Structure 1
Amino acid sequence: MKKVTVKHLTNKFKLGIFWGESILKDKYITVKDISRPALELAGYDAYYPKKRIQVLGKTELTFLASLDRAVQKERFKNLLLESVPCIILTRGFKPTNDMLDLAAKSQIPILGTDRTTTDFIALSTDLLDRDLAPTKTIHGVLVDIYGVGVLIKGQSGIGKSETALELIKRGHRLVSDDAVELRGIRERAIVGAAPKVLEHLLEIRGVGLINVVSLFGTGCVRSQKTVDLVINLEHWDEKKSYERLGLDRHFFTVLGVDIEMHTIPVAPGRNLAIIMEIAAMNHRAKKLGTNTPEDFTNNLNALIKGDEK
């Protein structure tokens, strides 16, 4: 299970520390969702999400302050379960002495931010989405072609990096060469990036490593990109039947997400860069509602039915 320390969150957003500075590095966040307790403060805690960060804003703290002091202490104490990573107060609110005493007894950090509750939840959710996302590193090249993230796969030496170089020369952008770090994020999407040691580097056999930024400029790279399409390169097999019309759909599954995949046979004389540009444009056209293979099939069927009549 991936986890993030409360100290990391504190440093990232420069949170104020009301109590628990010495234990921040020992408190872990394992769930990306954020809780804003409401029913729990009203006394109903049957479904309290105790593994989440608990955020208290103006509404929650004002309601809590309206209660009798003994009830306040009881309701706040019920939030301080052992598995709760931390309590965060927004909008510059400060904890009461009772809150601090209860937090110390329960060993739950209390932190604060001047941000609004909505802004802080949005920012922290985005951070945790990235840091807690399932990851996998695979062999391949990731390129941004016309805004479409294309992951190029294939056996070593088949020409993935050389194709990426040609695409860069044609104005497209490199994300990663040789190894691609993939992360599963919201809405079943996969985002790819380069490992730190390989950022902006491209390996060309016979030449060696080149720095794409140094040779082509910063406009030819990007730090990450959603993987929209997978191109699998393989040596041309005369005995194999390759897709002609594009009616059959194939997918590459990674981290539980199915991504559309085309298998492109490699043979002398084939311009792989142009083929990938066309594949990317065709993929984007399909997203906009234009499906040429289906249109062709429908038109052909209509023509055949017309002849039969």
Structure 2
Amino acid sequence: MKQFTILDLLDLDLKDQNRLYLKCLSGRSGLGRKIVTSDISRPGLALTGFTEMFEGKRVQLLGKSENAYLKKLCKENKLENIRKFFEYNIPCCVITHGIVPPEPFLKIAKECNCPILQTTLSSADFMPRLVRAMLEMFSPQVIIHGVLVEVSGLGVLLLGDSGVGKSETALALIEKGHKLIVDDSVEITCSNGNILMGKSSTEILNHHMEIRGLGIINIKEIFGIRAIMKSKRVQLVVKLEEWNSSKNYDRIGKDEKYEILGVHVPILEIPVKPGRNIPTIIETAALNERLKRSGHNSSGEFNKNIIKWLEHENARTKYMENRFN
């Protein structure tokens, strides 16, 4: 698991409906504190003094009601509960609705090196955004050397030895109207236990490809915005390998699986040799995988029909033998 601090939370580059709109009001010296869980707490009871079930390791979210109670405590100069609250070494507090909490609260937080963050979002808007961000943060990740493309709506991860033609194949798919997610270094995150999302491991690699003999090219500038995506779910793995005449390649459509972060994804091994149209084969593989997901398994249905035909022929042979003997 990656180490994640309050400063990392502030630096998250989230867009549109995922933005957190956070800024630090107090306790900047504690921005290095680590977030160790994706759970969030509303500390209303803890501020009243009841801390028996208080989860101090969580990010603490304070909305309008908690701030109203803080103002009451500060007005009555009852700061013991506030000091007791910060003794739990909580990672940080987030104040919603753009509210500025009472000065005594900010002062105690500063003394305890606890960051106090503020967001202009409401509690109802902010909480699911923070949960999504932290779930991704705590999800297991792995970086794989390969190319991730979207083919006919399906996320296809191209694997294979260096020089086998992964990038060239992806370039041909892009030229045919499909999309590039990332070339060379694919960061895959597993969320909800079974969803694999792939994206570039570093922003600088976004939408760039290395083509031997051509160098680094910018797919977005050459093919336009429609040829790229920021991330995509990995739903099919295609392993490209040099043709080996001594190897028996699948000819009937076995359901092989490839494990990534404990999730099993369908995999196809496609041999590469002159004359084989690999991009078209991958297009067909993606469409065939979509058919399987909708309940139509071409190879499975073919095998069932063969078995039925053989059974029918055996029955017919036995009938004829019994009739004429």
Q: Classify the secondary structure of the residue corresponding to 1:215.
A: helix
* Range 146-155 or range 91-100, more displaced: 91-100
Partners of 2:213 and 2:96 lie apart in 1 by 57
CA RMSD of aligned residues (A): 3.2
Structure 1 residue 78: Cα displacement: 4.8
Equivalent of residue 235 in structure 2, options 228, 233, 243: 228
Task: Report how far residue 116 of structure 1 moved.
Answer: 1.2
- What amino acid maps onto 1:224 in structure 2? S
Query: Contact 2:151 / 2:286 at 8 angstroms: preserved in 1?
Result: yes
Shift of 1:139: 1.5
Match of 1:120 among 126, 138, 160: 126
Cα distance in 1 between the residues matched to 2:88 and 2:49: 19
Q: 1:101 to 1:198 in 2, by over 3 A?
A: closer
Confirm whether residue 185 of structure 1 aligns to residue 191 of structure 2. Answer: yes
**Which is worse superposed, 280-289 or 122-131?**
122-131
Describe the shift of the 1:64–1:139 C-alpha distance in structure 2 as closer, same or farther (beyond 3 A).
same
**TM-superposed deviation, 1:47:** 4.8
1:7 is aligned to 2:14: no
Paired position in structure 2 for 1:139:
145
| Structure 2 residue 96 is the aligned partner of structure 1 residue 90 | yes
User: Which amino acid is 1:273 matched to?
Assistant: P
* Partner Cα separation in structure 2 for residue 300 and residue 61 of structure 1: 72
> Are the aligned partners of 1:3 and 1:28 in contact in 2 as well (CA < 8 Å)?
yes
* 1:126-157 deviations in Å (ceiling 9; x for gaps): 33344444433221111111121111000111
SS state at 2:31 partner: helix
What percent identity do the matched residue pairs reach? Answer: 37
Q: Distance in 2 between matches of 1:298 and 1:56?
A: 61
Aligned length: 307
Q: Matches of 1:257 and 1:42 in 2, distance apart?
A: 45
Return the match for 2:299 from 293, 299, 307. 293
Contact residue 2 and residue 30 of structure 1 kept, 8 A: no
Task: Work out whether residues 143 and 172 of structure 1, in 8 Å CA contact, stay in contact via their aligned partners in 2.
Answer: yes
Aligned partners of 2:304, 2:81: CA distance in 1, in Å? 65
* Secondary structure, counterpart of 1:26 in structure 2: coil
Opposite residue 222 of structure 2, the aligned amino acid is L
Contact 2:70 2:105 in 1 (8 A): no
**Structure 1 residue matching 2:289: 3-state secondary structure:** helix
Alpha carbons 2:257, 2:264 under 8 Å: kept:
no
From the superposition, tell whether residues 38 and 247 of structure 1 become closer, same or farther in structure 2 (CA, over 3 Å): farther
Q: Distance in 2 between matches of 1:63 and 1:297?
A: 70
Per-residue deviation, 1:227: 1.4
For the 8 Å contact 1:55–1:89, the answer to whether it is kept is yes
Instruction: List gaps (5 residues or longer) in structure 1.
Output: none
Task: Find the counterpart in structure 2 of residue 208 from structure 1.
Answer: 215
- List gaps (5 residues or longer) in structure 2: 13-19, 317-325
What is the 5 A alignment of 1:146-295? Answer: 146-194=152-200, 195-251=202-258, 253-295=259-301
Q: Which moved more, 1:36-45 or 1:123-132?
A: 36-45
Deviation of 1:295 (Å):
3.0
TM-fit CA distance, 1:68: 12
Given that 1:236 and 1:265 are in contact with CA atoms closer than 8 Å, whether structure 2 keeps it comes out as: yes
**Aligned equivalents of 1:202, 1:237: Cα separation in 2:** 28
Alpha-carbon distance in 1 for matches of 2:196, 2:245: 34
**Match of 2:319?**
none
Any conservation in 2 of the 1:82–1:106 contact (CA below 8 Å)?
A: no
CA contact 1:3–1:132 (8 Å) conserved in 2: no
Partner deviation per Cα, 1:229-257 (whole Å, 9 max, x = no partner): 11011122233222222243322x23333
State the Cα distance separating 1:25 from its structure 2 match. Answer: 3.1
The structure with the larger Rg is: 2
Give, in angstroms, the shift of residue 37 of structure 1: 3.9
Q: Residues 281 and 66 from structure 1, CA distance in 2 versus in 1: closer, same or farther, beyond 3 angstroms?
A: farther
* Amino acid corresponding to residue 204 of structure 1 in structure 2: I
Structure 2 length as normaliser, TM-score? 0.80
In the alignment, residue 235 of structure 1 is paired with which amino acid? E
